[in-house]
Amino acid sequence: MPTFTNHFNTKTLDPFTLEKGYEALLYEMQSGNIGYYDLPKSSVALVEEITPLRLEIEKYYDTIAVVGIGGSSLGIKAIDRLLRPKTPNAKKIVYFENSDPVSILHEMNRIDKTRTLFIIISKSGGTVETLSIFKRLIITFDLVLDHSQQILIISDEGSILSQFADEYHLRRFVIPANVGGRFSVLSSVGIVPLTLAGFDTLSVLHGAQDFLERFLARKEEHVIQKASYYVTHSARMPMNVLFAYSDMFEEFGKWVVQLWGESLGKRNRCGERVGLTPISLIGSVDQHSFLQLIIEGPLNKTVTFMHIKHSDVELLIPKLSLKYLEKSDFVNGISFNHLINAQCQATMQSVLQSGASVDEIEWDKLDEASIGEMILYYELLTSLSGALLEINTYDQPGVELGKQILAGYFQK
């Protein structure tokens, strides 16, 4: 279970603001308009439903090609990256996301057509990148469409992609209508490909449900405090840095950036532009790049330090002293996990001393339940912040405008 510590002063927070945030989320849950709150429990049935399919495809496929972008891929990649070291026998997952021809060709060259299950994911069903790549895959690999067991569709009920699936008698799974793309990782979007790949998604869901229940029982007040602090200080500190100490958090950080940026960069009721800008860093690498700006640049950022207390990998720094290189001998004989955690703590102390606002997330260990908890934590934090900013957390009018302009380019 992760441990959450807010190092900023919570005593100055307005109790009314804290209650306002909690009541807003309670209303959202009870209204049924926002569906991600139900996913940790409702998706358990989905795992059970696709278990026979998982056993079936194990005979034929060793690779899963996920064709999707944004909310249709980032959460899958995050969980895949975090769990891959402890699930080495999981099927290889290849991702087709961007309309970059170099990347598309590179990923296609990694595929054995006869051993690959293609999963096409688009909530709206009309995502131009996804459909364009799908067309390319059909032609390149000469995919048979009608009654194909090699193509699986995940989309909204009634979308054009779902209609396509029904026309060609393809397997398809539904994304609940009240679940937005960036909040959909615990729906069929993430659960189907990750379960079919061989990951323990039930434990992820159980971890998420446990955290949600503790939140509702007011046993996770730090989430409300953090959202309240961020929003009430957003004029002075409009940026949040997630400084995560493990390469395995790189994809998770990208998922957080989408969740945070697309949800919280909006116009409020008065038409004012508001938002909290997410920045994802990896320690200790970015101690040698971005840290200088945090320490001596403007105090306009909050910083979240994230690290793993216990690692499954015990790799030691050799007790080796090399001529001229004795300067680094003080860490000889300790584990790399000990080193990276010490670097995290030292950096966090330096940032605190600089006057920046800091909070800390310590994973006791990296496992499925902890990942589920962390997904719910960031989703709740996003919803709380959006409610306190008095915006619609769940739309993305700015993104839709860009799509309309793009369509116009090719219709002239």
Q: What residues does each domain of the chain span?
A: 3-30+204-392, 34-199
Average pLDDT in the 47-66 region? 93
DSSP states of 285-300: GGGGTTHHHHHHS-S-
Amino acid at 179: V
Average pLDDT in the 19-46 region? 96
Report domain 3-30+204-392's class: alpha beta
Residue 283 has a pLDDT of: 96
Look up residue 139 and give its two tokens: 């032609």
Rounded CA gap, 275 and 273, in Å?
Answer: 7
Same fold yes or no, 3-30+204-392 and 34-199: yes
Rounded CA gap, 302 and 400, in Å?
Answer: 29
Average pLDDT in the 249-273 region? 95
In percent, the amount of the chain with pLDDT more than 90 equals: 91
| Residue 344 near residue 283 (C-beta atoms within 8 A) | yes
State yes or no: pLDDT of 396 exceeds 90. Answer: no
Residue 408 has a pLDDT of: 73
State yes or no: pLDDT of 241 exceeds 70. Answer: yes
Is 169 exposed, middle or buried (CB count within 10 Å of its CB: 0-12, 13-18, 19+)?
exposed
Average predicted confidence (pLDDT) for the chain: 95
Residue 412 has a pLDDT of: 59
pLDDT in tens, 318-364: 999 999 999 999 999 999 999 999 999 999 999 999 999 999 999 99
Helix (H, G, I), strand (E, B) or coil at 342: helix
State yes or no: pLDDT of 409 exceeds 90. Answer: no
According to DSSP, the β-strands at 357-365 and 273-274 are: unpaired
Question: Quick one: how far is CA 132 from the chain centroid?
Answer: 24
Residue 246 has a pLDDT of: 97
pLDDT in tens, 377-395: 999 999 999 999 999 999 9
Residue 410 has a pLDDT of: 67
Helix (H, G, I), strand (E, B) or coil at 378: helix
State yes or no: pLDDT of 405 exceeds 80. Answer: no
pLDDT in tens, 78-100: 999 999 999 999 999 999 999 99
CATH number for region 34-199: 3.40.50.10490
State yes or no: pLDDT of 66 exceeds 80. Answer: yes
Is 150 exposed, middle or buried (CB count within 10 Å of its CB: 0-12, 13-18, 19+)?
buried
Is 277 exposed, middle or buried (CB count within 10 Å of its CB: 0-12, 13-18, 19+)?
middle
State yes or no: pLDDT of 49 exceeds 80. Answer: yes
What positions carry a catalytic annotation?
Answer: 262, 288, 403
Residue 397 has a pLDDT of: 83
Is the previous residue joined to 311 through a cis bond, with omega within 30 degrees of 0? no
State yes or no: pLDDT of 250 exceeds 80. Answer: yes
| Residue-level length of the chain | 412
Amino acid at 307: H
pLDDT in tens, 115-170: 999 999 999 999 999 999 999 999 999 999 999 999 999 999 999 999 999 999 99
* Helix 368-389 / helix 201-216 crossing angle, nearest 10 deg: 40
pLDDT in tens, 191-208: 999 999 999 999 999 999
Look up residue 365 and give its two tokens: 């260990």
In percent, the amount of the chain with pLDDT more than 70 equals: 98
Question: Quick one: how far is CA 222 from the chain centroid?
Answer: 20
| Residue 240 near residue 224 (C-beta atoms within 8 A) | no
